[in-house]
């Protein structure tokens, strides 16, 4: 039952899905529980991906042509932003502002704590959201089932990648109580990492079964490469990860999976 409680806590923390009343009382809360819930981050991706796919399918059914596919992709993206409270998009914008705004580590971290969005953050958001819509529109040319596969697998696997950053990089974010990732400051164990992998394996299997071994593994490999590049950048510039860095990793990896599936061999 602890696994169910940890999953519901992850759902409460990483989305706007309400876990309230008696259910919230049963789930409970502690910093240790929140750290344990991080293992279920990919599990949250199954729900977010399912909602994204459902919105896309409904919109695409009534909106014909390529313009309709782009509109469906935009509506699907809006649904995920609303569902997660732009949690990860906010991280991407903050990282872009911090790393783009200063070459000095301390100053970059200070900029990332600022709630205001700067030029680098705005540009990063526009480019990321625009590219997401365009890639999903391109995937629609391969059929709606491919878009559903892309949305679900991307939301699951892109949420596995940040767990490796938590496991292997030191936390360098703000240690005060307001920091959204402070409970994740202690590295997760191998057991938690295995839980995250277990959540992700069905998505990998789905990719291979429907796309073939080579094409099915390409999104997984490009996602891993994207995560490694972000981790390398964070270690070089900040000497560790922050909560914003985890959000940025999820966004970059999600885009990498769409790109790999949309790319024509």
pLDDT above 80 for 166: yes
Share of the chain above pLDDT 70, in %: 94
Residues in the chain: 265
How far, CA to CA in Å, does 250 sit from each of 52, 90, 157?
16, 11, 9
Which residue reads 């014909």 in tokens?
64
Which tops the pLDDT comparison, 36 or 174? 36
Confidence check: pLDDT of 243 > 80: yes
Q: Average pLDDT in the 90-113 region?
A: 95
Q: What is the pLDDT of residue 212?
A: 93
Could you tell me where the DSSP H helices lie in 158-265? Answer: 161-168, 190-211, 213-237, 243-262
Q: How far apart are CA 88 and CA 226, in angstroms?
A: 16
At 118, is the secondary structure helix, strand, or coil?
Answer: coil
pLDDT at 146 over 70: yes
Could you tell me the pTM of the whole model?
A: 0.94
> How far apart, in Å, are the Cα atoms of 98 and each of 4, 66, 108, 231, 242?
36, 36, 4, 15, 11
Residue 114: CB partners within 8 Å, gap ≥ 6? 94, 97
The pair of three-digit structure tokens given for residue 71, joined into one six-digit string: 């509109």
What percent of the chain stands above pLDDT 90? 77
Query: Residue 43: which of 249, 146, 188, 197 has the closest Cα?
Result: 197
Q: What's the rounded Cα separation, in Å, for the pair 211 and 83?
A: 29
For the chain, the structural domain boundaries read 2-262
Determine the pLDDT at residue 190: 87
- Residue found by looking up tokens 């344990």 in the block: 36
Spatial contact of 244 and 91, defined as CB atoms under 8 Å apart: yes
54 pLDDT band, cuts 50/70/90, is: very high
pLDDT at residue 177, rounded to an integer: 45
């Amino acid at each position: 039952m602890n696994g169910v409680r940890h999953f519901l806590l992850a759902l409460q923390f990483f989305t706007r899905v309400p876990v309230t009343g008696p259910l919230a009382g049963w789930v409970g809360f502690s910093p240790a529980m929140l750290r344990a819930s991080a293992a279920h981050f990919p599990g949250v991706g199954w729900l977010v991906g399912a909602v994204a796919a459902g919105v896309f399918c409904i919109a695409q059914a009534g909106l014909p042509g390529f313009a309709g596919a782009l509109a469906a992709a935009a509506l699907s993206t809006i649904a995920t932003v609303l569902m997660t409270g732009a949690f990860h998009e906010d991280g991407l914008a903050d990282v872009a502002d911090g790393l783009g705004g200063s070459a000095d580590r301390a100053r970059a971290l200070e900029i990332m704590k600022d709630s205001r969005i700067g030029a680098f953050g705005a540009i990063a958001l526009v480019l990321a959201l625009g590219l997401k819509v365009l890639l999903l529109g391109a995937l629609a040319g391969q059929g709606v089932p491919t878009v559903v596969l892309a949305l679900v697998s991307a939301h699951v696997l892109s949420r596995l990648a940040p767990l490796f950053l938590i496991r292997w990089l030191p936390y360098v974010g703000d240690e005060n109580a307001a920091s959204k990732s402070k409970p994740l400051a202690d590295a997760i164990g191998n057991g938690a990492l295995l839980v995250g992998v277990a959540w992700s394996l069905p998505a990998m299997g789905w990719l291979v079964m429907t796309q073939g071994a080579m094409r099915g593994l390409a999104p997984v490999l490009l996602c891993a490469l994207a995560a490694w590049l972000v981790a390398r950048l964070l270690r070089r510039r900040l000497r560790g990860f922050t909560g914003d860095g985890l959000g940025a990793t999820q966004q970059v990896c999600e885009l990498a999976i769409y790109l790999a599936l949309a790319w024509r061999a």
